[in-house]
Structure 1
């Protein structure tokens, strides 16, 4: 079995909904459930991905664009939900009690033949987490909704063969936007979202030589531009394929392995 190989895709990435698929030949998980259950199924089907492989959902935080499809999805497919106590308390709907699972920090959780490690991140939510998903020696990071780069984020980023990394806004576009001052401060004030430049500095300083793919994620509709951020990162890619995850459609499926990666459509 190709347990050193992982297939990854962003089903959607943005303030209108977030959902990320990570799986190997036998088992898969979703990180966040910010699309409706029907839309999640539709997009997975278009990609040739099966819900039959999905064994659990891991929730990063309680903001609506990360959980709005969770209740229906979990109940329909009988999926355990790994969620922190703070995030669970912030949810405005009920989950089946038998499907709620604890999410300890820095402790590997085994789901099928996958290992998922959650850890605290900086964001304006109750108890938000980022994740690293592993199969054999291959590691995938899901690092979005970040107010700042912290030591923990750096530690896990350095281990990833591929990662979803937030690049939410361009500093100049945000400063010139029509957003009210309080919202600009919320986004850029250290507990909101990561700018293109902040994400780029992490990438330049801590990208491992074996990182084959970087999926730039959670772009702002109004304060960023996909071509702008893609070109910014491509200047420093050094062999890493740069992909911009869309807020409108699913990405392709990317097959990540240790030590090489192959792109499949």
Structure 2
């Protein structure tokens, strides 16, 4: 049974996740077991990140680590300022660091793709994904009792490696970036349309649905549609693509919004 965290702060014990917001204007995901607090990416300004963390009942000084997926601005805008002001250790790949976009960091740890590491009580598996960045990764995070959360956005197409790495999760934050028709008919210039819809860009709703079917839904308590494009998608279209896979159990499905993020969810 899935239990939503009703309080403004994460519960002690279960593996919980929440979102500060997700989309082209900024992305950040909180993961906590009540003792260890991870922030995955921070694509918001320092002041905005502070405000959104407070909304979820977490002070920046409570963060044990900031994990970075890749160097695009909607994922790193606030990483350096947040880390410097509050002394938060940052984990990232050498390729992401080599982009030169993060500035000085108070404490830096290298991520080796496919090499497991731990931050206090949480175990993290960084997974290489196809995206137009220097050395991008996404994360599978395990808490107490073996509960596992998959964070899977910013990939151009679902490779067999990705399918194997994210199968069997208990909860999944899944990119549903664009509707193919809206992208084709939308305002982006042709070059940007090719980038977004290409093999190194972002997942379309239909691709997300096909990937989800391959991953399997038996264990999934939560499926959070994330990184929706402001211009090329709508929440109802993302949900429409995934609902047929759920056999009528739509309670597991939710959308992570750009402005409101996603309240705490617990994996029971």
Asked whether the two chains share a fold, i.e. TM above 0.5, the reply is yes
Equivalent-residue separation in structure 2 for 1:31 and 1:86 (angstroms)? 17
Q: CA deviation at 1:232?
A: 2.3
The answer to whether the 8 Å contact 1:141/1:156 transfers is no
8 Å Cα contact 1:8-1:21 kept in structure 2: yes
Aligned to 1:108: 116
Show CA shifts across 1:135-160 (max 9, x none).
Answer: 02011111111111012211222131
Relative to the length of structure 1, the TM-score reads 0.91
SS across alignment from 2:254: strand
For residue 125 of structure 1, the aligned residue among 119, 126, 133 is 133
Correspondence list, 1:25-64, <5 A = 25-64=34-73
Report the Cα distance in structure 2 between the residues aligned to 1:87 and 1:93, rounded to whole angstroms: 9
Counterpart of 1:21?
30
In the alignment, what sits opposite 1:256?
A: 267
Q: By how many angstroms is 1:165 displaced?
A: 0.7
2:258 equivalent to 1:247? yes
Secondary structure, in 3 states, of the residue corresponding to 2:200? Answer: coil
Tell me how far apart the structure 1 counterparts of residues 96 and 89 of structure 2 sit (CA, whole Å): 15
Give TM-score scaled by structure 2 length. Answer: 0.90
**1:227 matches 2:236:** yes
Q: 2: distance between equivalents of 1:120 and 1:66?
A: 16
The superposition leaves residues 175-234 of structure 1 with CA deviations (integer Å, 9 ceiling, x where unpaired) of: 111221111111111100000000000112222411000111111111111012113212
Paired position in structure 2 for 1:262: none
Call closer, same or farther: CA 1:133–1:3 in 2, change over 3 Å.
farther
CA contact (8 A) 1:11 1:250 kept: yes
Contact preservation (8 Å) 1:118, 1:129: yes
Quote the residue 2:218 is aligned against: 209
**Stretches of structure 1 lacking an aligned partner (at least 5 in a row):** 258-265
Aligned residue-pair number: 255
CA-based RMSD: 1.6
Q: Contact 1:29/1:56 (CA < 8 Å) preserved in 2?
A: yes
Moved more, 41-50 or 197-206: 41-50
- Matched-pair contact (CA < 8 Å) for 2:61–2:88: no
Deviation, 1:4, is 6.2
Mark the runs of 5 or more structure 2 residues left unpaired by the alignment: 1-10
Counterpart of 2:203? 194
Work out which of the residue numbers 150, 164, 181 in structure 2 matches 1:155: 164
Deviation of the 1:55 alpha carbon: 0.4
